[in-house]
Amino acid sequence: MEIRTLEDLFIDELRDIYDAEHRILEGIEKMEEAASNEELKEAFRTHHEETQGQIDRLEQVFEICEKSPEGEECQAIRGHIEEADELIDNIEDEEVCDAALIAAAQKIEHYEIAAYGTLCTLGKMLGKDECADLLKETLEEEKNTDKRLSALALDKINERAAA
């Protein structure tokens, strides 16, 4: 897609995160299976459910904008998912693997936080308040997931991995 206007950029970024969310759905399932800590598994399950809702919200935004969601591949998330897969395949110690899964998941969360923050700002600038509100809801979910992962790492998982 050729980007000539702020509106074009907004749609391009929407398509990028839409592809990212679909890739994340698959990645979260693998991370949940690889995790040994039950609280971490639950965090991945919860985020998987939230991601489904986030995809639904993105589809609402596309509908409001009268655009299709197809056309963009998110290279960044593809790379983060591949990195997580490598960690899963190469780390034998369960506690260390759990710590690595949190690190990988937080890289993904930080990408999403940046993407949704940008989209909220662009949506507001373009006068797409309904879109911005839907995107802000997802942004808050992503921030909460990041906080939950940090708490798990700091409270339990990283300490066990260090032992």
pLDDT confidence band for 163 (50 / 70 / 90): confident
CB atoms closer than 10 angstroms to residue 70? 9
Give yes or no for a contact between 143 and 47, defined as CB atoms under 8 angstroms apart: no
Nearest-angstrom CA–CA distance, 44 and 33: 9
Q: What would the pLDDT profile of 81-123 be if each residue is shown by its tens digit? A: 999 999 999 999 999 999 999 999 999 999 999 999 999 999 9
Q: What would the pLDDT profile of 17-31 be if each residue is shown by its tens digit? A: 999 999 999 999 999
pLDDT of 72: 81
Give yes or no for a contact between 84 and 27, defined as CB atoms under 8 angstroms apart: yes
Nearest-angstrom CA–CA distance, 142 and 109: 6
Q: Where are the domains of the chain?
A: 6-162
Q: What are phi and psi of 92, to 5 degrees?
A: -90, -40
Q: What would the pLDDT profile of 21-77 be if each residue is shown by its tens digit? A: 999 999 999 999 999 999 999 999 999 999 999 999 999 999 999 999 987 899 999
pLDDT of 155: 87
The CATH code of domain 6-162 reads: 1.20.1260.10
Task: Return the structure tokens found at 136.
Answer: 């802000």
R_g over Cα of the chain: 17
Task: Return the structure tokens found at 54.
Answer: 């986030």
Q: What would the pLDDT profile of 117-141 be if each residue is shown by its tens digit? A: 999 999 999 999 999 999 999 999 9
How far is the CA of 4 from the CAs of 1, 7, 10, 36, 75, in angstroms? 9, 8, 11, 48, 22
* Straight-line distance from the first to the last Cα atom of the chain, in angstroms, rounded to the nearest whole number: 50
pTM tops 0.85, yes or no: yes
pLDDT of 49: 96
